[in-house]
Structures are given as C-alpha cells and as structure tokens.
Structure 1
C-alpha cells in the first residue's frame, strides 16, 4: 500500500492534461519509492498476472525498473511456461521497436538503463504477433484510462497492436483511481492487476480470449 498515492483525480481539460500528468507522475513515483511493501506487493501481483494472461502463447511485456511493479519475474515465468515474449527495445523515447526475450542472461541495459534483449531488433509492427500486451502505467481508471511514464512510447507502439489483443497493466491498489487526465491519442487498457484484485475495465476495446 502506497500511503502517499493520490486518490481520485478530476478529469482535466485537454489543454491542462500534460501539466496534470506531470504532477501526478511525480507524486506517484515518490509514493512508490517510499513504499516499504513493494516486494510483498510484487509477489502478490505475480500470481494474479500469470492467471490473467494464462493460455496466451505470444505476449509483449515491458522490462521493469524500480520502483515500477516488477515484471522480470513475470517475463521469466512466461518463458519457462513456453510462451514467447516480446520486450521493448528503447533506442529512443520516440521509436518503438521490439526483440524476443531469450533468458535473463540475454538482457542488457538499454536507453535510461532499462533492460532489453541483445537479439535481433524487430520493427514496431512486430507487436501485432502478441495476443496479450502488458503496458506500463503509474495509475489507471476503471474505464482503462492509464497514466504512462511520459514520452508517448506506448502511445505510438500500441497503434501496431492487434485489434484483438488484450492490453493489461500492473499497478498498486491505491493507483486505481476514479479519473485521470487524458488526451485523444491515449489508448485504454482492458485489464488491471493489483496485489489484491483483477479488474476488467469498461474500455471500448474488446479483450481477447487465449488462442486455442
């Protein structure tokens, strides 16, 4: 539980959204850094995340860095179960690219120290292979509106996702809020996993079932 994480936030007008987002990012990041229960939350969230994407054979996921909710254990568990996992290759803040996860020894620090695979780099449309995409977020609403980390990388990357893919995100319990500032290009997520619950959002995108 993050004691300093903000509660419900009034929806900002489009012109106010960037400034509102910056302020929220700072507040939530500081709350995550000071949270003494992060490890316990990660362990509880992992089981729920694996259940949420069970049956999907090709997934995409971000490689987390502290204080984000941990995804490295999730990625390894998916790979151990035989799934193929695409990870972002962050050559810049603006250019989406991907590579296949090939084990923890294949990861190296990339842009801003974010782990990424050493293998061949795939262009942005490679994301269309994934039937489930784990997207980073600092907060999310029951309608699936997410507050990203800034820079718009996922806003651009998700335009290449399959329209049938399920989009999910991992956040803290207090990071599910009533409303968030949003902009026209923000793509909502379908599923939210916290340490204590799994929430199907009211986003317009239909969540997909695992392939047969």
Structure 2
C-alpha cells in the first residue's frame, strides 16, 4: 500500500540519498566507531529513553550510525527492546531483542531477532521509537531509503509517543523533499545530542 510520489520529489529524494550515502561511505571507520559509542551514551541520558519501559529500535547496517552498543546498553538498563522484521510487502513486524547472539541474517543485508513475531502493531507498545534515516529537516521531515516501511510503522505510533531518527550530526537540518505519505519524527538522535524538531 504505497502512495504515488511526484516525479519531481522522487528525483530529488534519489539525488539526496545518493549524496548522503556517498558521504557515509567516506566516513572513516574510527569516526563511525566513536560516534556509535557516543550515540549509546546520549540515548541513555535522554529522559524519554531513561523513563521508557519499552524501546522500539533497529539493528544498524552498512554506513548507518552504529546501534549495537545502544541496543546492548538498553538491555543492560532493563529495557524491553523490540526490533523490526521486514515483511514481504515491506511492512514491519516486530520481535523482542535478546542480545546479539539471537540475531539472524535476513533479506537485504538486514538482521532481525530470532524470537516470536509480535505483529505489526507491536510498535504501539513502545514508549519511545528510534528509526533509521539518512537526513532530517528542521521540521522533522525524514529521508529514508525509499521503501516506505518506516512511514507505515510510524503511522501506527500513538500520538504523544516520542519518535527519533538516528543520524550523524551533519545529516540534521537539511532540506528534505516530501510526499503526502511521509510521516514526520519529533527528534533527531545523534552522537552530539538529541535535537527536538519543529514538527514534534
């Protein structure tokens, strides 16, 4: 169930994605590792995460800001962590995270928990939702990979639940092309801190 994009916005999104993905490939591994450590620290200090019983997050892949340390820190802090499972129609099911040893390789180079599936509405049980992206505008417009999976998931999140896109610092505050089906996020979470976005 996807909403058609205008040709102009589709082209603009593709161009921006290509630019940001190229920048991520150029990022030195040492810088990415340092950012991953800082990201976990920042997230655990954020009151929305600190007060949460359940956190919806994801396993980073490729050049994404690293979430491995963050996921383990959330577990160590006693949080219930739910991670996405990509369905054939690009929607997201969810399953509980039980540590890196319980992750399995999935389609498109992704990793998912090996446990029981909780259903697409399980994201509604989260007290805070952390999602991947490539950029965020000052208003909270989020640029994803183009599959629409997270827009569908974010549309299920109850009003008032904090949603944050996890980015590198230089990916926040960019002009992001949008379509009617795009769902805004309230915050950007980076190694440098948590930034409230105007759409929050």
For residues 165 and 44 of structure 2, the distance between their equivalents in structure 1, rounded to whole angstroms, comes to: 12
Equivalent position SS for 2:83: strand
- Residue 89 of structure 1 corresponds to which residue in structure 2? 85
1:187 to 172, 177, 183: 183
Q: 2:65 aligned with 1:62, yes or no?
A: no
Deviation >3 Å, runs of 4+: none
5+ residue gaps, structure 2, are none
TM-score, length-normalised on structure 1? 0.85
Alpha-carbon shift at residue 179 of structure 1 (Å): 1.8
Partner residue of 1:24? 16
3-state SS in 2 of match to 1:99? strand
Q: In the alignment, is the contact (CA less than 8 A) between 1:146 and 1:180 conserved in 2? A: yes
Question: Shift of residue 15 of structure 1?
Answer: 4.1
| Partner deviation per Cα, 1:6-26 (whole Å, 9 max, x = no partner) | xxxxxxx95411111111111
Contact 1:63 1:115 in 2 (8 A): yes
The count of aligned residue pairs is 192
| Distance change (3 Å), C-alpha of 1:115 and 1:107 | same
What is the SS of the residue equivalent to 1:192? strand
What's the TM-score once normalised by structure 2's chain length? 0.90
Indicate the residue corresponding to 2:160 in structure 1.
164
Aligned counterpart, 2:121: 125
Question: For 1:85 and 1:192, how far apart are their aligned partners in 2?
Answer: 19
Decide which structure has greater helix share: 2
Answer 1 or 2: higher relative contact order, Cα 8 Å, separation at least 6: 1
Q: Residues 1-212 of structure 1 correspond to what in structure 2 (within 5 A)?
A: 14-36=6-28, 37-52=31-46, 53-92=49-88, 94-203=90-199, 205=200
Report if aligned partners of 1:135, 1:167 keep a CA contact under 8 Å in 2: yes
Please report the RMSD computed on the Cα atoms of aligned residues, expressed in angstroms. Answer: 1.6
SS of the equivalent of 1:160 reads coil
What is the Cα deviation at residue 69 of structure 1? 0.5
